[in-house]
C-alpha cells in the first residue's frame, strides 16, 4: 500500500502544486453559474451555455474541461433554477459533476437585487489505472476508484444590477478525499472560496468597458487573482485582456450573433515555466437565450 501511495503522490503532485481544484475558466464572467448558485435566473431569461477548454496544449495529461448548463427564472416568482454538468479530465483522472442550483432574489433598491443560492452536487471520480502502470495487475486499491461517488453542497450570494455585480460563494462545503490509501489523503478536494465582481462603464453611445475580478482561495495554495478588462463595441463585438496572477495572460473576443446567440473565444499564455512545455490554452463557449413575448435584455451585459 505504501508503494501505491507513492505512485499516487508522484502522479498528483504537479496537479495539486498548481492548485487546480475546481475546473478553471478564463471567461468566468459568462460562466458564473458553475461557481455561484445565486447566479441562477439572474439574467431574467432561460440561458443555455456550453464551454470547451483545452489547457496547456501539448503537455501530456493536461486538463480538458467541458461544461454545459441551463438556468432560468421560475415563472413570475423570485426563484431561479439551474442545472449544470462539468466533465474535467486531468492526467489519469476523469471527473463528472452534476449540479442543481436554486436561488431566491429580493430587490434591495431601484437598481440592485440580492440573490441567495444553494447548490447540490453529485460527483463521479474515475482513475484510468492502466496509465499508472501498477506493479500488480488488477490491484483492488486502484479499481476501487472507478466511478467513486461523492455528494456535496454549496452556497452563494450575488448582488447585481444591469451594470454591476459582486458575489461570494463556496461551491463545495464538504472536503472529500478523491484519492487515498486508507491512511493518507493523496488527492483531496478542498473548500474553494470565490469572490467575483464587475462593473460596466459607458464610454460612448456605442462603446462600453467592463473591468472584472475573480479571486479564489484554497487552503494550502496561493491566492488566485484574475483581473480582466473587456470593451463592447456597438453592442455586438467584445474584446479584452486578462491576467491571472503569476500564472497566465489571456486574450478574449466575443460576438453577439443575434439577440439570442452569443459566442466567445479565449486564449491563455502561461507566464510560468510551464510556458516552455505547452503552446497555450484555448477556450470557446456558446450561449443561447430564450426570450418570452419577443422581449430581450435591453442593456447588454458581460455577465
Domain positions in the chain:
2-294
Strand partners, 251: 241, 267
What pLDDT score does 19 carry?
Answer: 41
Collapse the DSSP code of 146 into the 3-class scheme (helix H, G, I; strand E, B; otherwise coil) and give the result. Answer: coil
What pLDDT score does 292 carry?
Answer: 61
Strand partners, 80: 73, 103
DSSP state of 223: P
Residues 6+ apart with CB under 8 A from 20: 63, 90
The fold of the 2-294 domain, in CATH, is Porin (2.40.160)
* Inter-residue contact 254 to 285 (CB < 8 Å): no
Strand partners, 215: 195, 225
Strand partners, 64: 54, 89
Residues 6+ apart with CB under 8 A from 180: 186, 187
Q: Where are the alpha helices (DSSP H) in the chain?
A: 2-17, 140-143
* Inter-residue contact 207 to 30 (CB < 8 Å): no
Low-confidence ranges of the chain (pLDDT < 70): 1-21, 129-145, 178-188, 292-302
pTM: 0.85
**Is residue 111 classed exposed, middle or buried when 0-12, 13-18 and 19+ CB atoms within 10 A define those classes?**
exposed
Collapse the DSSP code of 115 into the 3-class scheme (helix H, G, I; strand E, B; otherwise coil) and give the result. Answer: strand
Tens digit of each residue's pLDDT (9 = 90 or more) over 133-142: 655 555 555 5
Tens digit of each residue's pLDDT (9 = 90 or more) over 263-292: 999 999 999 888 888 999 999 999 999 876
Q: Which three cell numbers stand for residue 284?
A: 470557446
What pLDDT score does 74 carry?
Answer: 94
Is the Cα dihedral 131, 136, 137, 141 positive or negative? negative
Nearest alpha carbon to residue 117 among 75, 76, 154: 154
Q: How far apart are the first and last CA of the chain?
A: 48
What pLDDT score does 93 carry?
Answer: 86
What pLDDT score does 10 carry?
Answer: 39
What pLDDT score does 6 carry?
Answer: 38
Q: Which three cell numbers stand for residue 11?
A: 502522479
Measured between alpha carbons, how far is residue 107 from residues 14, 42, 110, 161, 202 in Å? 45, 12, 7, 10, 24
What pLDDT score does 15 carry?
Answer: 46
Amino acid at each position: 500500500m505504501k508503494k501505491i501511495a507513492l505512485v499516487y503522490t508522484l502522479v498528483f503532485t504537479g496537479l495539486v502544486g498548481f492548485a487546480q481544484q475546481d475546473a478553471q475558466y478564463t471567461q468566468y464572467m459568462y460562466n458564473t453559474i458553475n461557481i455561484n448558485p445565486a447566479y441562477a435566473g439572474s439574467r431574467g431569461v432561460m440561458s443555455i451555455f456550453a464551454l470547451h477548454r483545452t489547457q496547456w496544449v501539448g503537455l501530456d495529461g493536461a486538463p480538458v474541461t467541458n461544461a454545459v448548463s441551463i438556468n432560468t427564472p421560475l415563472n413570475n416568482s423570485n426563484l431561479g433554477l439551474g442545472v449544470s454538468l462539468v466533465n474535467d479530465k486531468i492526467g489519469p483522472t476523469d471527473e463528472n459533476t452534476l449540479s442543481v442550483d436554486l436561488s431566491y432574489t429580493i430587490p434591495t433598491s431601484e437598481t440592485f437585487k440580492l440573490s441567495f443560492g444553494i447548490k447540490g452536487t453529485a460527483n463521479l471520480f474515475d482513475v484510468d489505472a492502466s496509465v499508472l502502470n501498477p506493479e500488480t495487475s488488477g490491484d483492488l486499491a486502484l479499481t476501487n476508484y472507478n466511478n467513486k461517488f461523492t455528494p456535496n453542497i454549496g452556497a452563494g450570494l450575488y448582488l447585481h444590477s444591469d451594470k454591476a455585480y459582486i458575489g461570494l460563494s463556496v461551491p463545495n462545503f464538504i472536503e472529500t478525499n478523491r484519492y487515498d490509501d486508507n491512511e493518507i489523503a493523496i488527492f483531496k478536494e478542498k473548500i474553494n472560496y470565490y469572490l467575483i465582481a464587475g462593473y460596466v462603464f459607458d464610454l460612448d453611445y456605442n462603446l462600453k468597458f467592463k473591468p472584472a475580478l475573480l479571486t479564489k482561495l484554497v487552503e494550502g495554495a496561493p491566492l488566485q487573482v484574475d483581473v480582466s478588462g473587456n470593451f463592447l463595441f456597438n453592442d455586438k463585438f467584445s474584446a479584452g485582456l486578462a491576467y491571472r496572477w503569476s500564472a497566465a495572460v489571456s486574450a478574449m473576443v466575443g460576438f453577439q450573433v443575434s439577440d439570442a446567440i452569443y459566442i466567445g473565444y479565449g486564449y491563455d499564455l502561461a507566464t510560468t515555466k510551464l510556458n516552455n512545455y505547452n503552446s497555450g490554452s484555448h477556450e470557446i463557449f456558446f450561449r443561447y437565450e430564450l426570450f418570452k413575448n419577443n422581449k430581450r435584455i435591453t442593456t447588454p451585459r458581460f455577465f
